[in-house]
Amino acid sequence: MEVTASMVKELRERTGAGMMDCKKVLVETSGDIEKAIELLREKGLAKAAKKAGRVASQGLVRLAFSADGTKAAAIEVNSETDFVAKNEEFIEFVTLLADKALEATSDDLEAFMALPYKEEGTILDALNNKIVKIGENMNVRRFAKFETPGVVYVGYTHGNGKIGVVVGFETDASFEEISVMGRDVAMQVASMNPKFIDESAIDPDYIESEKKILVQQALNEGKPADIVEKMVTGRLKKELKETCLIEQKFVKDGELSVCQYIDNTAKAIGKAAKIVEMLRYEVGEGIEKKEENFAEEVAKQMNN
């Protein structure tokens, strides 16, 4: 019986095994899906599907840049435990994926997972193979690529890959000329986690929402209604200074704002520089982490 692409797809979806492995067992079983599933289980290749429901909130963020800084990419790949995130094989895998993200033609994750990976088939196949080999659920959570004309990108990775930051500067300066300043600004983003580059980037709905919260806070404090508006304006301005990157106090020199630090560097090199793009990935942010009793987890692993 001829093995078709739809048969491979069905087997892959039912078992979580790699595409090439699915194709091989279908050939071996003359296209019998049920026998193919049994064979995959015997080979230990159907384990990935069993692990897919387990929470993967650890992992790594990796960055990649072109030599001249005109292209950049960031990727987050998750694992269940920090132990696996420190595994050399896992680190190498994520690093290679960052390089692939740099050359990707789109930001579509599904298309990215379908890209070829060594002799293993696709990136998705390689991921499933790692799940089977290492024994934990893993997933490529997100990635981003930057390549805006006239923009130079610099980055910073903190905590051995727990946080990754990319900042893009609109400038005529070279990567070498702004690399130190760029890394300092990226460190600022990693440390202070600003929500916006400047006030012009703030969604009006966000400002309105914050304003309502601050008004209610002031009224709850018993402040007279006639001065609440004035109070809220001042509080909102202070809050926006903390949430906008260029308004923040520069962590390496509290006498300067980030904007002043960038301007000083621009004057020193004789070329203007302005932040126009910013990305901050933190491993596991937004993922609901499942708390488990350690003894129970050990017992569970022994029964697997």
Same fold for the pair 5-51 and 52-147: no
Residue 171, Cβ neighbours under 10 Å: how many? 22
35 and 29 in contact (C-beta within 8 Å)?
Answer: yes
Query: pLDDT tens per residue, the chain (304 residues)?
Result: 788 888 888 887 777 677 788 888 899 999 998 888 888 877 766 656 556 557 678 999 999 999 999 999 999 999 988 998 999 999 999 999 999 999 999 889 999 999 999 988 999 999 988 888 888 889 999 999 999 999 999 999 998 999 999 999 999 999 999 999 999 999 999 999 999 999 888 888 888 888 888 888 888 888 887 788 788 888 888 877 788 999 999 999 999 999 999 999 999 999 999 999 999 999 999 876 654 444 554 454 445 4
The counts of H helices and E strands in the chain are 13, 8
DSSP result, 112-167: HHTSB-TTSSBHHHHHHHHHHHH-S-EEEEEEEEE--TTEEEEEEEETTTTEEEEE
89 and 130 in contact (C-beta within 8 Å)?
Answer: yes
- Two structure tokens written together for 220: 């709850």
User: To which H or E segment does residue 256 belong?
Assistant: strand 253-257
The top-level CATH class assigned to 5-51 is mainly alpha
- Two structure tokens written together for 24: 């091989």
85 and 129 in contact (C-beta within 8 Å)?
Answer: no
Domain boundaries, the chain: 5-51, 52-147
Contacts for 232 with CB less than 8 Å, ≥ 6 apart: 211, 214, 215, 218
- Two structure tokens written together for 213: 């919260």
User: Sign of torsion, CA 99 105 107 111?
Assistant: negative
**52-147 is classed in which CATH architecture?**
2-Layer Sandwich (3.30)
